[in-house]
Amino acid sequence: MTALDPTARISASPMPPRRKAAAYLALTKPRIIELLLVTTVPVMFLAEGGVPSLWLIIATLVGGALSAGAANTFNCVYDRDIDAEMHRTSNRPMVTGEISPREGLVFGAVLTLASTVWFALVVNWLSAALSLGAIVMYAVGYTMLLKRRTAQNIVWGGAAGCMPVLIGWSAVANSVSWSAVVLFLVIFFWTPPHYWPLSMKFKDDYAAAHVPMLPVVEKFVVVARQIVAYSWAMVAASLLLVWVNPMGWLYLVTAVVTGALFLAEAHRLHRAARAGEGPTVLKPMRLFHFSITYVGILFLGVALDPLFYLPLR
């Protein structure tokens, strides 16, 4: 423990370089980055109407990884106090003292600069602006302003997680179309049904850290009702893409089948919550895990549809 940061548990001996590097990598939350990039590449295929250049795909992924890493790093620095209170986050590098707050801020700033310059010079200026906007939205809008103040934090703060869709489209077209906006809305409405089941599972953790996630301040049945509402909005947005963009049968079937399965799982959770069942019987993580499968399959449909286009009429 140090006088500078009471949340940190710092070892007296210097860390080996490999362990230090691993700690820096952990700050970026690589698993979250993977999920964000899953939505980027398919949108590039749709914007191109086929296969974009391999170099452009790689360049966009590199810039996106740097951008998401920067946002996640700033989140870890600011949230180190509540991370120390939560069991599932208590081993993050800012809590253990493997990375100091100053080191974290510098690392986040370097990643921000690197991602912005990379996008501007290698991709285009619009993608650079969207990338920088995503970092600010997550680090300031969600982490600093919303997360500790409102139960709707993940709804509005989750908009930052939708930005890779716009970045992927702009990387190819150097513009943002209505198709990209519709896919943005799909992820926007997907975020609460994805994250609130996780919050239900770790309700006690969030309560101990005084974070007003919706399952902390409302009964599970209220949370489940909102999950159902957002799920229907998400599926409606996914089908709206067929009207906005000339999508074929492959995407339509993918959206209908995966959407129906998602709605079935959301309604299952709602029925269990109405019956007054606890978290163990509710099994909210079933929806959490399926939500990841859903977004992966849906966006695979987005990518494959222009390659195997079968017109609806």
Q: pLDDT digit string (tens) for 133-148? A: 999 999 999 999 999 9
Weakest mean pLDDT among 30-34, 47-51, 130-134, 266-270: 30-34
* Model confidence band, residue 285 (pLDDT cutoffs 50, 70, 90): very high
Q: Which domains does the chain have, with CATH numbers?
A: 25-176 (1.10.357.140), 177-313 (1.20.120)
Mean pLDDT, to the nearest integer, of 32-44? 90
Q: State the pLDDT at residue 6.
A: 47
Report how far residue 173's alpha carbon sits from residue 157's, in angstroms, rounded to the nearest whole number. Answer: 26
Q: State the pLDDT at residue 3.
A: 41
Is the pLDDT assigned to residue 265 strictly greater than 60? yes
Weakest mean pLDDT among 6-15, 102-111, 286-295: 6-15
Q: State the pLDDT at residue 16.
A: 85
Is the pLDDT assigned to residue 2 strictly greater than 80? no
- The pTM assigned to this predicted structure is 0.91
Mean pLDDT, to the nearest integer, of 59-66? 96
Q: State the pLDDT at residue 12.
A: 44
Give 48 or 9, the one with higher predicted confidence: 48
What is the percent of the chain with per-residue pLDDT over 70, rounded to a whole number?
94
